[in-house]
Amino acid sequence: MNTIRLLPALLFASTLAASAAVSPIRIDVDQKIENKAVAGAAHGKAGAAPMAGKSQNRELTIKVSNNSAESFSNLTVKYWFFGRDMASKSHDEEIVKQGERKLTLAARARETVQSESVASTYVEEHMKPGNAGGKGGGGKVAASGQKLTGYAVQVVNDGNILADYYSEESIKRKLAGDNKKPAGEKK
């Protein structure tokens, strides 16, 4: 009697295992980050530190591993950098830069792919400081520029995604439903 109850469970488990194909391709993504303050207008006091915008530089090092006995001669490593327009009231991320690299990967091999570097400069909305004693000179400074917010990487073979990584879940959703060109490029 127990064997009859166990049989459907075994069939269900074997069906799940057969339908969940495991990719032999793995990726490890390291992001090189450089953030710098950008000098702006000085505070009202002599010798005070200047108000600063921010400068960002990002670059990806993508390590692609083949854990199978099969070689891959037509891999494409695709990458995207995302950001948001600081002047926009929306917090929607958009593609700032994208690229791809062709790759041949031998059986049980590992290769490293370097992305292009992407740079941005932005200023967050803030109040302009007044003179000493809080008199005069103050006012709002509008946000401007583009702030980098994340990245995505996919390894594709003949149109099939074999491995992927998204720095944020929102970026994965954005790529799944939105195949726009990078901001600033003509569509």
Distance CA 23, CA 32 (A): 27
**What is the span of the domain harbouring residue 84?**
22-177
Q: How far is CA 97 from CA 22, 25, 106, in A?
A: 30, 24, 29
pLDDT tens track for 104-146: 999 999 999 999 999 999 888 877 776 555 565 668 888 888 8
pLDDT at 2 over 80: no
pLDDT tens track for 51-109: 568 999 999 999 999 999 999 999 999 999 999 988 887 778 899 999 999 999 999 99
Structural domain contains residue 156:
yes
Q: What is the average pLDDT value for the chain, to the nearest integer?
A: 80
Those residues with Cβ within 8 angstroms of residue 159's Cβ, 6 or more apart along the chain or in another chain: none
Structural domain contains residue 171:
yes
Distance CA 157, CA 163 (A): 10
Structural domain contains residue 186:
no
Write the CATH number for 121. Answer: 2.60.40.10
Structural domain contains residue 14:
no
Structural domain contains residue 123:
yes
Number of domains in the chain: 1
Structural domain contains residue 12:
no
